[in-house]
């Protein structure tokens, strides 16, 4: 069995530190072949830098994906070109720098990874995620043993439709962006492991990773406000897929939550 852990949006220093503390142990205890993490919120809650990408990779993460916050850190559009294990959303305009997908190799196994941005309730700058996924899958054909596709999107309908669209063509489809884990981890009819949102890796005593009070203030008054990253109840949230290379189907898909205050892995779903 090939086991893959996908880690949801890593938020700020609390998320980075908790991921670094737990990734090596999780690889060992869960027998993971690959760990992939979305790091779109790793730099102070918005975006990523080259230095932070390398520090996340050095703690045992094999590949990094991004989302709508991809270009939030100044200069990252230059740095991303040199980051071989980081990919930007595949359906951004072609002129955007960075890789559209990754081919990660470990112990002779090859995992293809890509992310697409959803288009419902997000700024309309991305190409059709469905058609772009078709194109990326065609490019990965024959080059990888299995594919992990991520849909970084707001609408559950768009994410579920995307999972169904790729059922049997990508081994794993995970949703991200809402930062709230969903209770629907499943194996779809044609063998794709699917979950609508894996949640975030960061402080859950928060509003989506940010301090509660400023977010409430913004809703009350509508004035521009800074949203510092919170620090309470830090959890790693992700999904673990178990792929059978003989049947070429995922045989189990589950949400994984690792809370700091528990100090141990607890699986649900």
Q: What does the binding site for Fe ion look like in residue numbers (CB under 5 A)?
A: 9, 40-41, 67-68, 177
Examine the residue annotation and report whether 69 is marked as an active-site residue of this protein: yes
Per DSSP, the three-state class of 152 is strand
Kindly state the tokens that stand for 202: 């960061």
Kindly report the number of other CB atoms within 10 A of residue 27's CB atom.
18
Shortest separation between residue 204's beta carbon and Fe ion, angstroms: 14
Based on its alpha-carbon atoms, the radius of gyration of the chain, rounded to whole angstroms, reads 17
Give 122 or 260: the residue with its C-beta nearer to Fe ion: 122
- Residue 175 beta carbon to Fe ion: minimum distance, rounded to whole angstroms: 11
Do the beta carbons of residue 147 and residue 115 sit within 8 Å? no
Instruction: Report the distance separating Cα 207 and Cα 187, nearest Å.
Output: 30
CB of 57 to Fe ion, least distance (A): 19
Q: How far is the C-alpha of 126 from the C-alpha of 118, rounded, in Å? A: 8
| Strand partners of residue 259 | 235, 264
Q: Which is nearer to Fe ion, 113 or 171 (CB)?
A: 113
CA distance 110 to 19: 23
Residue with smaller CB distance to Fe ion, 9 or 62 = 9
**Residue 246, burial from CB neighbour count under 10 angstroms (0-12, 13-18, 19+):** exposed
Nearer Cβ to Fe ion (178/192): 178
The least CB distance from residue 178 to Fe ion, in Å, is 8
Give whichever of 9 and 158 is closer to Fe ion, judged by the CB atom.
9
Give φ, ψ of 73 to 5 degrees: -95, 125
Report in angstroms how near the CB of residue 39 gets to Fe ion at its nearest.
Answer: 9
Terminal Cα distance for the chain, rounded: 19
Between 68 and 150, name the residue whose CB sits nearer to Fe ion.
68
Contacts of 140 (CB under 8 A, 6+ apart): 101, 103, 112, 114, 147
Catalytic choice (69, 152, 177, 179): 69
User: Measured from the CB of residue 248, what is the shortest distance to Fe ion in angstroms?
Assistant: 31
3-state SS, residue 234: strand
Q: Pairing relation of β-strands 2-7 and 232-244?
A: antiparallel
Q: Which of 142, 199, 205, 148 is nearest to 176 (CA)?
A: 199
What positions carry a catalytic annotation? 69
């Amino acid at each position: 069995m090939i086991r893959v852990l996908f880690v949801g949006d890593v938020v700020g220093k609390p998320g980075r530190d908790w991921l670094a503390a737990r990734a090596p142990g999780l690889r060992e205890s869960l027998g993971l072949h690959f760990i992939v993490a979305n790091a779109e919120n790793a730099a102070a809650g918005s975006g990523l830098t080259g230095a932070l990408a390398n520090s996340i990779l050095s703690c045992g993460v094999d590949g990094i994906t991004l989302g709508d916050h991809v270009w939030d850190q100044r200069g990252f559009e230059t740095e991303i070109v040199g980051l071989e294990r980081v990919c930007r959303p595949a359906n951004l305009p072609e002129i955007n720098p960075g890789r559209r997908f990754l081919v990660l190799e470990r112990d002779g196994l090859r995992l293809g990874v890509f992310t697409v941005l959803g288009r419902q309730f997000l700024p309309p700058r991305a190409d059709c995620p469905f058609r772009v996924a078709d194109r990326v899958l065609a490019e990965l054909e024959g080059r990888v043993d299995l594919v992990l596709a991520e849909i970084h999107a707001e609408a559950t309908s768009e994410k579920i439709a995307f999972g169904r669209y790729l059922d049997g063509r990508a081994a794993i489809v995970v949703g991200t962006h809402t930062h709230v884990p969903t209770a629907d981890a499943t194996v779809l009819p044609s063998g794709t492991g699917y979950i609508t949102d894996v949640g975030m890796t960061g402080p859950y005593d928060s509003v989506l990773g940010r301090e509660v009070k400023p977010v409430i203030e913004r809703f009350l008054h509508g004035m521009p406000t800074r949203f510092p990253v919170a620090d309470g109840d830090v959890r790693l949230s992700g999904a673990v897929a178990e792929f059978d290379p003989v049947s070429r189907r995922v045989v189990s898909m589950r949400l994984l939550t690792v809370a700091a205050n528990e100090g141990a892995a607890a699986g649900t779903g």
